[in-house]
Amino acid sequence: MKELHLIRKLLHYISLESELDDYDNIHQTIERDIIFKGTNLWILMFAIVVASIGLNMNSTAVIIGAMLISPLMGPINGVGYSISTYNFPLLRKSVKNFTFAVLASLFASTAYFAITPISTAHSELLARTSPTIYDVLIALFGGLAGIVAISSKRKGNVIPGVAIATALMPPLCTAGYGLATAQFYYFLGAFYLFTINTVFIALSSVIISQILKFPIRTIVDEAQKKKVNRLITAVILLTIIPSIYFGYNLIENERFIEKANTYARNISVVEGNYLLKNEINASKKTITLIYGGSQINETQKTELLDRAKLFGLDEAEIDIQQGFSFDFLTEKTSQVDNLTAELNRMRLLLQMKEKQIDSLTRKGHIGQQLLKEIKPLYPQISTCSYSETYIFHDTIPNPGKTSLIVFNTQGKYIGSPDQKKIDSWLKTRLKTEKVKVYFER
């Protein structure tokens, strides 16, 4: 008896009947939110623009705002409610308004992305192109929370939270981006996500409507009920099967990434080589390893490939690359040293040539210096020429180098004693015995 009392108490706590709103109020609320005209139509248009801009600018806050103001939940709940209560006129009205909202959203978002100058697919766009089974669960439980809130006297703040969780408007605008940029992979992925959200929000409305025993307001026979149930089952299966496949791929990719990261951590150092970077592509099952250090050889590459099998990466394609090599740096350093030595040698030769040129230039002015020194002693000397030349002999193989000096005395005679003095002075002055002196008159 005590256990039965506890069960009844528990059922009382989880029961929805005590807070259930009047059936007529629930019906009117759902029916009112189905129609897209006036306020709902304007809100829909504003939500489309806000969501498109948020996706275009990769702004999470703006996208959340579009989710909050979007009125797309109304006709979806109407579809689920009308199916559950077999209200086919209401179902047709819900489908009609929902189709209008979807087409209007697609048209507006496609037009926006066709004219915007920014066409990059940011992370917020990409996140809505690969739905999985987890999106099914989010849509289902989010929709359950939404229809329960609509059915309750206490509406609370559940509806905005459901709008954010199920995210109807962003994937629809992402589909518009795919159309505008002719990237149909984006269109199909995003529209499939939108379909998942739509179907399972509607399914949650069907479930809660039947649990809460919403009254059937039309006459319907058993054959129609069976037909509707078969149609619901078919739609659910067609929607959920691809998501299971995508969810399986997601799990497999996450496992591959985890194994690849563990593998990369264990091969970060290989005999003087250091792992600079690793790139993992889970969808293609490829791992790129870029090493730096000494030149990695084929034996080391084979060892790395063998070690991958220890981490369950037998089917992975591993590409091992050399980022930079110390051997390469050594070779380049040697080349630089050789170039530096050659440059120094050329600089030394240049300096020697400059000295030779400077010496020749100075020798060209020796005659001027000799004239300045001898002029005070012999004023009759007016010019002096100086040069170095070679004297060739017919009996001596090598020529002799000598200094040749020519003085001009302006027609005045210099005697032999003075000429001998000048000759002696020049030998002392030039520090050489090989001097030839000529006097012109």
Q: Could you tell me if residue 17 is left (phi over 0), alpha (psi between -120 and 50 degrees) or otherwise beta?
A: alpha
Q: Say yes or no: 284 and 390 in one domain.
A: no
Where does a domain end: 344, 364, 384?
364
pLDDT surpasses 80 at 401: yes
- The Cα-based distances of 47 to 42, 86, 93, 186, 306 in angstroms read 9, 31, 22, 20, 55
3 state DSSP class of 299: helix
pLDDT (tens digit, 9 = 90+) per residue, 178-208? 888 888 888 888 888 888 888 888 888 888 8
Predicted TM-score (pTM) above 0.75: no
Q: Could you tell me if residue 271 is left (phi over 0), alpha (psi between -120 and 50 degrees) or otherwise beta?
A: left
Where does a domain end: 319, 342, 364?
364
The confidence score (pLDDT) of residue 360 equals: 57
Where does a domain end: 170, 203, 220?
220
Look at the block and give the residue holding tokens 């497999």.
Answer: 252
What is the spatial distance between Cα 104 and Cα 99, in angstroms, rounded to a whole number?
8
Do residues 120 and 236 touch, judged by C-beta distance below 8 A? no
Q: Say yes or no: 148 and 84 in one domain.
A: yes
Q: Say yes or no: 53 and 152 in one domain.
A: yes
Q: Say yes or no: 347 and 404 in one domain.
A: no
Look at the block and give the residue holding tokens 């004297």.
Answer: 391
Nearest Cα neighbor of 81 from 212, 233, 209, 234 is 209
CATH number for the domain harbouring residue 188: 1.20.1080
% of the chain beyond a pLDDT of 70: 81
189 within some domain: yes
Look at the block and give the residue holding tokens 């009117």.
Answer: 28
Question: pLDDT class for 337, splitting at 50, 70, 90?
Answer: low
Q: Say yes or no: 317 and 179 in one domain.
A: no
Per-chain mean pLDDT for the chain: 78
Q: Say yes or no: 308 and 211 in one domain.
A: no
Q: Say yes or no: 306 and 377 in one domain.
A: no
What is the spatial distance between Cα 405 and Cα 371, in angstroms, rounded to a whole number?
11
Q: Say yes or no: 37 and 111 in one domain.
A: yes
pLDDT surpasses 60 at 167: yes
Q: Say yes or no: 32 and 181 in one domain.
A: yes
Which residue range(s) make up the domain with 110?
Answer: 16-220
pLDDT surpasses 80 at 441: no
240 within some domain: no
pLDDT surpasses 70 at 436: yes
Question: pLDDT class for 335, splitting at 50, 70, 90?
Answer: low
Instruction: Give Cα 345 distance to the centre of its chain.
Output: 49
Nearest Cα neighbor of 403 from 360, 362, 432 is 432
Q: Say yes or no: 22 and 165 in one domain.
A: yes
3 state DSSP class of 262: helix
- Residues with Cβ within 8 Å of residue 102, at least 6 apart in sequence: 172, 194
Highest mean pLDDT among 9-18, 288-297, 330-339: 288-297
The confidence score (pLDDT) of residue 338 equals: 65
Characterize 310-341 residue by residue with b for buried, 16 or more Cβ atoms within 10 angstroms of its Cβ, and e for exposed: ebebeebebebebeebeeeeeeeeeeeeeeee
pLDDT surpasses 70 at 1: no
The confidence score (pLDDT) of residue 46 equals: 81
Q: Say yes or no: 313 and 411 in one domain.
A: no
128 within some domain: yes
The confidence score (pLDDT) of residue 330 equals: 52
* Structural domains in the chain (count): 3
Among 179-188, 197-206, 334-343, 418-427, the minimum mean pLDDT is found in 334-343
pLDDT surpasses 80 at 50: yes
What is the spatial distance between Cα 293 and Cα 326, in angstroms, rounded to a whole number?
5
What is the spatial distance between Cα 3 and Cα 169, in angstroms, rounded to a whole number?
48
Q: Say yes or no: 117 and 202 in one domain.
A: yes
> Is 441 or 414 the better-scoring residue by pLDDT?
414
